[in-house]
Amino acid sequence: MSITGEFSRVLSVTNRRPRGRRTRPPVLLAALLTACALLAGCSAGAADPAPAPAAPAPPPTPAAPTSTAPAVPELPGGGTEVFPGRRMAALYGHPGTPSMGVLGEQDLPRSIARAKDLAADFQPLVREPVVPAFEIIATVADRAPGPDGDYSAEMSVEELRPWVEQAGKAGVYVVLDLQPGTTDFPTQARRYAELLAQPHVGLALDPEWRLAPGQRHGAQVGSVTAAEINETSAWLAGLVREKALPQKVFLLHQFRVSMISDRQRVVTAHPELATVLHADGYGTREEKTETWNALHAAPRPEGLWWGWKNFIDEDRPTFTPRQTYAVRPESPVFVSYQ
């Protein structure tokens, strides 16, 4: 509060002599003058402004929050979005089974070294980092029904854990591949939720090995509906949100249009996932190119990334890294070797 005005009171005394023949004694006059001076001094003192009241204390500073949202961990190669900004070069297969792909041709330490060498072969061709990767067949299509009757032999989480964890420590991305037999993709994916909760682990669905009731592996090529794919992707996207994870690779294998019956209805809008259509055809260069072009020509949703598989033994000849990246209309961001 401020003082808006200053009040003063001045005592004025008129010192006029009255008319008449008698005058006041000098002593009385001096006394009156002294009294006036004293009263004037008191009035001046009373006119001094009162001291301003103290300003109110500022409000207390709010306490800093004691906890913050956890930071999203980065992917191998940096960042939290898969594509664009990186490509991947992967060894495909099943640990300990050489006939199923190059991943199974050596032990874990040598597989990590081989994946890094593969990525290094592609790196001079592009500006963005090429990240080494594993695509591990976690559930293997089986001619026998097995104890659960689904014609799919599932690796346990504990069997996969060393491959997943050691790869992560070495900067290698991991994709878990599902060949579900007569069960469905969402059921098998949930089996590996603990591993998929790690930031460097994605998921692949292989419709070739998705059987309808009464079908058997080897008698026909399997297929899956967009609805089942969408159920799987919705669950996986929810896991990413729940665990505050970076974006994940969500990979769909295909070499025939019929393998995904209504592909144009596949949902690719989950920001938590980078959906990759992976062309799996093998054979001559002309045959592989024909498969690639047919998959591009068929109805498809917007927002797909594209992948390519090279078969070391079955392709005649195997594409070089430069030839692989040169395919059009879109250069593949995910390349695997079987």
Query: Cβ distance 235 to 187 under 8 Å?
Result: no
Is residue 3 a part of any domain in this protein?
A: no
Whose CA is closest to 279, among 313, 228, 218, 329? 329
Q: What whole-number distance in Å separates Cα of residue 160 and Cα of residue 155?
A: 7
Is residue 26 a part of any domain in this protein?
A: no
pLDDT at 1: 37
In tens, the pLDDT along 129-178 reads 999 999 999 999 999 999 999 999 999 999 999 999 999 999 999 999 99
- Which residues neighbour 138 within 8 Å (Cβ) at sequence distance 6 or greater? 154, 155, 160, 176, 177, 178, 192
Distance of CA 34 to the CA centre of its chain: 92
* pTM reported for the whole predicted model: 0.80
Q: What whole-number distance in Å separates Cα of residue 276 and Cα of residue 250?
A: 6
**From start to end of the chain, where are the E strands?**
87-93, 130-141, 152-154, 173-178, 201-205, 248-254, 273-279, 305-310, 334-337
pLDDT at 17: 33
Q: What whole-number distance in Å separates Cα of residue 316 and Cα of residue 256?
A: 20
Residue numbers of the domain that contains 174: 87-337
Is residue 235 a part of any domain in this protein?
A: yes
Is pLDDT at 254 greater than 50 in this prediction? yes
> Among positive and negative, which fits the CA dihedral 215, 217, 219, 222?
positive
Is residue 161 a part of any domain in this protein?
A: yes
pLDDT at 261: 86
Is pLDDT at 316 greater than 80 in this prediction? yes
Sort strands 130-141 and 152-154 into parallel, antiparallel or unpaired.
Answer: antiparallel
pLDDT above 70 coverage of the chain, percent: 79
* 84-93, 150-159, 213-222: least confidently modelled range: 213-222
Is pLDDT at 19 greater than 50 in this prediction? no
Is pLDDT at 68 greater than 80 in this prediction? no
Is residue 203 a part of any domain in this protein?
A: yes
pLDDT at 126: 98
pLDDT at 58: 54
Q: How confident is the model at residue 61 (pLDDT cuts 50, 70, 90)?
A: low
Is pLDDT at 7 greater than 50 in this prediction? no
Is pLDDT at 28 greater than 60 in this prediction? no
Looking at the structure of the chain, the number of domains it has is 1
- Which residues neighbour 14 within 8 Å (Cβ) at sequence distance 6 or greater? none
Q: How confident is the model at residue 30 (pLDDT cuts 50, 70, 90)?
A: very low
Q: How far is CA 189 from CA 50, 105, 123, 134, 286, in A?
A: 80, 26, 32, 17, 35
Is residue 82 a part of any domain in this protein?
A: no
Q: What is the mean pLDDT of residues 232-252?
A: 98
Is residue 111 a part of any domain in this protein?
A: yes
Residue type present at position 99:
S
The CATH number of the domain holding residue 197 is 3.20.20
Q: What is the mean pLDDT of residues 59-86?
A: 79
Is residue 296 a part of any domain in this protein?
A: yes
In tens, the pLDDT along 274-302 reads 999 999 999 999 999 999 999 999 999 99
> Is the bond leading into 332 cis (omega within 30 degrees of zero)?
no
